[in-house]
A and B are shown apart, each in its own frame.
Chain A
Amino acid sequence: MGRPWGESDMSNTNSLVGMSDIQVVKGEGQLTIPGLAAGIGLCALDATAEVGGMVHIVLPISPTDRTPGRVGMYANTALPALLDMMEQAGAQRDRVRAAFAGGAQPVTGDKAESAQSLQIGVRNIEAVLKALTDLGIPLTDQDTGGHLARRLVFSVDNGVVTVQMANGPERLLSNLGGKL
């Protein structure tokens, strides 16, 4: 803990998860999203099989008339794809637990935002919660909203997820593995 904002520890077992990326790790490994804004970083773990995954969701729902270039872009396509990849790596769906962070929003004025305003962060949070419910995946913790960017780090080997707001301290978001 206590790494400066924006600085990442990228050794061989550590990977950056870019926009719309889905990455799955079996055994040891650390997955990092260095800068989440309105997007969502979701971490999922089957602690028994030691299979964990992270996805960097960009937008809420994929339009019905358009197949996304990358399934990780939208909440409704990213989560089923993440679970499929985890199952292929040996995870069992009924043992998977999840935590997520992100969904920041611009500053609003005195008036309530109209439905026409750009509310990607809020809609992303709603879409992720719905997708988790639809898939029957328990949510352990979430750190969402506000106006600042976050860095999310997931250590798959012990299930620890940390979050750091821009210019703030790194803190524990969730212990998906329960091994601390």
Chain B
Amino acid sequence: MTLEAILKQTTDLPTFPAAALAVLKETSSADASANSISKHITQDQALTARVLRLANSAYYGLPRQVMDVSESVIVLGTRTVRNLCMVAATYPWMSRPLPGYGLEPYHLWVNSFSVALGSKLIAERTGAAQSDSAFTAGLLHNIGKVALSAWLENKLGSVQQIAQAEGLSFDEVERRMFGFDHAEVGAFLAERWNLPKPYVDVIRFHHQPEACGAGSPLVDITHLADHLSMNLGFGVGGDGLLYRFSEPAMSELGLTAGGLEELGAELSETYEKQEKLFLDNESASERRAA
């Protein structure tokens, strides 16, 4: 069966709100202003509510209430607003369980958010990419799992067995089984949503950074952040650590295994605080109770 045919038969495919895509594009433009960004945010009620809630949260400690989205953009800064919009756009379907990957409710969210934070840390440490682009790339890298999970539901045990018996990675077994893997499925969805090409590349090549060719720091960054998160155990599912680590991706960015471990320590120390900032109280308590 082709990838297109599988997606056609998959119900409840994830979507990416038009307003969030417009914010993503607007915040990448040199001409962006608080007004131009807020114009897009206010097209979406959920995004508007989240941005206002964060601007008025105790973290920012403002002496008066911010009532206006445009003012919130000024208070929070363009990058934070953009990252918040990406979280708001993806959280509803990232919090679903994905039995095909052995992921309980919220596990994909935990994994994606930790890869987003890890990517941001690596981008800041290496200066190889903009940190907010790295955050978005990390957040979106596994969207393909949402679509492919239903097709793996009764096959997880077989995939694990084949991978372990033959020394293959999980994505290699997916490719053998379907002719494509969750990364390819995610890239297909990202293209359909008209996401900018660098994000499509990250989603497609995050398990095979060498296949993307040299000069793709965003792909290398996401690959390393993904491995850090997997090693630390953030939202790890039935595919566990059944993936290959790319040493060239690490050396391309001038990092060492020791340096990555230090970033892992930082990631594990900051995850909870950062999650509280990005999730509203209701979502955060639901997540922690799960």
| B269 touching A148, Cβ below 8 Å | no
Q: Judge whether A136 is part of the interface by a CB distance below 8 angstroms.
A: no
Interface pairs (18), CB distance under 8 Å = A5-B102, A7-B104, A35-B233, A37-B240, A58-B265, A58-B268, A59-B265, A63-B262, A106-B244, A107-B168, A107-B242, A116-B247, A116-B251, A117-B247, A117-B257, A147-B242, A148-B238, A166-B237
Determine the chain B residues whose CB is within 8 A of the CB of A20 once the complex forms. Answer: 268-269
B residues at A contact (CB < 8 Å): 102, 104, 107, 156-157, 160, 163-164, 167-169, 227-228, 230-233, 235-238, 240-245, 247, 250-251, 256-257, 260-262, 264-265, 268-269
How distant is A66 from chain B, measured CB to nearest CB, in Å? 8
Specify which of A19, A59, A104, A116 is in contact with B241 (CB 8 Å cutoff): A104
> Which of B157, B240, B260 has the largest count of A CB atoms less than 10 A from its CB?
B240
For B236, give the chain A residue with the smallest CB separation.
A149
Determine the chain B residues whose CB is within 8 A of the CB of A116 once the complex forms. Answer: 247, 250-251, 256-257
Q: Judge whether A167 is part of the interface by a CB distance below 8 angstroms.
A: yes
A residues at B contact (CB < 8 Å): 5-7, 19-20, 35-39, 58-60, 63, 66, 68-70, 73, 104-109, 114-121, 146-149, 166-167
| B257 touching A19, Cβ below 8 Å | no
Determine the chain B residues whose CB is within 8 A of the CB of A115 once the complex forms. Answer: 257
Specify which of A69, A107, A146 is in contact with B244 (CB 8 Å cutoff): A107
| B244 touching A19, Cβ below 8 Å | no
| B243 touching A118, Cβ below 8 Å | no
Assembled-state Cα–Cα distance A32/B164 (Å) = 26
